[in-house]
Chain A
Amino acid sequence: MALTTAVSRAGAGLRRTGVIIAAAVALAACAPVQQAAGPATGPAPDSFGTPADPAAVQAGGTLTIALSAEPDMLDPTLSRSLYSRYVFHTMCEKLYDLDQDTAIVPQLATALPTISADGLTVTIPVREGVRFGDGTPFDAAAVVTSLQRHLTMSGSGRRSELGPVTAVEAQGPSTVVIRLSSPFAPLTAALADRAGMVMSPAALAQLGDDFATAPVCVGPFRFENRVAQNSIDVVRDPNYYDAARVHLDRITYRIITDASIRAANLQSGDAQVGDSLSTQDTPALRTTPGITMLESNRLGYQGVTFNIGNVAGQGNPWGDVGTPLANDARVRQAFELSIDREGLVRTVWGGIYSVACSPISPDTDFTSEAAQACTPHDPARARELLQAAGVQVPYPIRMITSNNPDSLRLAQALQALVADGGFDLQIVPTEYSALLDQQDRGDFEMLQLGWSGRIDPDNNIANYLRSDGGSNVAGYSDPALDALLDRARTSTDHAERVRLYGDVVAAIQTADPIIYLYRERNLTGVTDASRGCRCSRTASCGWRSRA
């Protein structure tokens, strides 16, 4: 059996970001998590974990985390999978981080960025006296090196996240200046993700493109070893600026892809943390003594996308698909009216996930009443709309969906629901990479896929619905929506952005090119032996969360 100890990073977080209230809320939210006996009727209150009592913290020990999927390259520039974030969380600090309320707080930076009046110059003060895992000093020049690599490296997954950056320079050892060609509000949020991770210039010089084989950043732990498809080990880093507060010797991430085996490892005590547990195991785990479930909404969504104008594939001009479903918004509205989201989530996910009606996460400070507006379930009205549109009822729709069991269960529930509203949904299970290919070629009528979500609403909408969006597979083009999105992206006034995104949601719901269905929740199990685990909404758990 692995040695287990409790750990606490809470004290530092509380002092630095003043989230005592948030912690108290989480404490209160923890109690009801264990109550749900029998079938769940709704999502449990959000719970991110509570700080451990510093007096009860034991130094040393190994923590084993059962990960649901293997992270891809451990290189902040090249990483494309969300699971790499779990590991980066303990070994690669970012310029900014998210707290429990999904607010952006400084991490390697010392304050939020100062943005010039014209929005084109962003100045970021960074920490001094910090060292990388290899002992080399961290400074503004190192930040510049990492950002340049994100911007210029071939195959960089960060290029588009950083927006219209034209230059990055260091002014002295502790100031980074980023210059933009046009104002870009989502930049700060991007720097609170992989784009904000700072890599050791010495390690970069030595490893170059192979940085992923032995990554070095600033973090409470540093990379030790990786066995592909099996495990990743990180060990306590004595160079870390706050090393006195790191109590664990080592964290082992063990990759266990089967959800039931993850739950079993948690129950047997072989793993102290298990991520992405299944909605089927969750009700039982909630009532298991010695295990606490941490549950919170993810930032992304799952939904269905219609083919509005993608006739010749992405990159070619949009055209006329020629079906009422593509050309008449009433048909798509009728489809949305036929969906009972509550019922869907209850049937397919045991009521554990939450419903979603818009791409804006209700948990970020970009949300508003307008942004969470929801089309009610009204099959009678759906039939009226179909009649008014003068289309054949039941209206046949072919939906391509990923051929895994969960997606198919969702598709079947959807099929049953929309029948009431006058739709005949035909499910076409498709292998995942073929599905991606079909969606880009425009070879579909409707498809079901989701998006993992980012903090800034721009990242959750523009890519999918702007006329020139990189993933606008719907082939949707609405100059009014484009103008709204541009204003929201370039505005630096938060209240105005919130209002604009409310308008964006209204515009999307009128035309319905994408219908948002539900939000997955992070379902993380933690054993009592490892008190103090905290999770954030971006699907990363660990002992570094400030919140």
Chain B
Amino acid sequence: MRTYLLNRLWQSAVTLVLATVVVFAGVRALPGDPALAFAGEERDPAAIAAIREDLGLNDSVLVQYWRFVTAAVQGDLGTSTRTGIPVAEMIGVALPVTIELALLALLVAIVLGVAAGVVAAVRRGRPAEWLANGLALLGLSVPNFWLGLVGILYLSVGLGLFPASGFVPFGQDPVATCTTSCCPRWCWARASRRS
């Protein structure tokens, strides 16, 4: 068991290292000059040179990679070049929301999916099974971004049942969570897909 775990451990370490290499090299393999894209409309040569210096683009790729890895190991994921906000902070804000949404979506999916499965099993060969299977197939086939858009149009704009966007934490107000974040946009699409 211990050797198994150790084996797994070094294999994951190699995977992680390879992942950093791929991410790092992949970004640099993209066409175009990052300093140029970053400068946008205001790109006189002096500004571009300053951006290169700031981003450390003048150093060799190996030096840049080493800097990226050493900082990441120490928990410093850098700051967003676009907004100037530390990346770790951005993840810290977004991750709990993502997890909450995923759990709630899973809950809805399980309830609807199990219910549909039970109906299909109990009413085997009857119209109810066809309906359940048909809905499941539809949910699987329809792209969820489209379903989300249609949901917004009919449920928010048309019927005014839900807000069209936004998020309220579950702990703060469970009902609002359901109406703002879960039902209209994400869960409907996900739930249908999983059902």
Contact = CB atoms under 8 A, between A and B. Distances in A.
Interface string B22-61: 0000000011111011111111111100110110000000
A436 B37 contact: yes
Contacts of B34: 433
Nearest to A469: B44
A275 interface: no
A3 to B, nearest CB: 13
A452 B41 contact: yes
Given A264-B153, A264-B157, A315-B45, A437 B165 contact: no
Interface stretch (A68-76, A331-339, A410-418, A516-524): A68-76
Interface string A416-443: 0000000000000001111111001000
A256 B37 contact: no
Contact of B53 (A154, A267, A437, A463): A154
Contacts of B107: none
Categorize the interface residue count of chain B. 35 or more
Name, among B53, B84, B153, the residue most crowded by chain A CB atoms within 10 Å (CB to CB).
B84
B33 A261 contact: no
Contacts of A470: 43-45
A156 B39 CA distance: 10
Contacts of B31: 431, 433-434, 437
A270 B165 contact: yes
Contacts of B156: 264, 268, 270
Contacts of B93: 227-228
Contacts of B149: 260-261, 264
B36 A433 contact: yes
Interface string A477-502: 00000000000000000000000000
B32 A431 contact: yes
Contacts of B82: 70, 72-73
A470 B45 CA distance: 7
Contacts of B40: 80-81
Given A74-B84, A228-B94, 11 more contacts: A70-B82, A70-B83, A155-B51, A155-B54, A212-B85, A264-B156, A265-B164, A268-B164, A269-B160, A271-B164, A436-B36
Q: Please name the 10 residue pairs, one residue from A and one from B, whose CB atoms are nearest each other, closest first.
A: A433-B32, A470-B44, A212-B84, A433-B37, A434-B31, A268-B156, A73-B84, A268-B164, A437-B32, A228-B90
Interface of B: 30-34, 36-47, 50-51, 53-54, 80, 82-85, 90, 93-94, 149, 152-153, 156-157, 160, 163-166
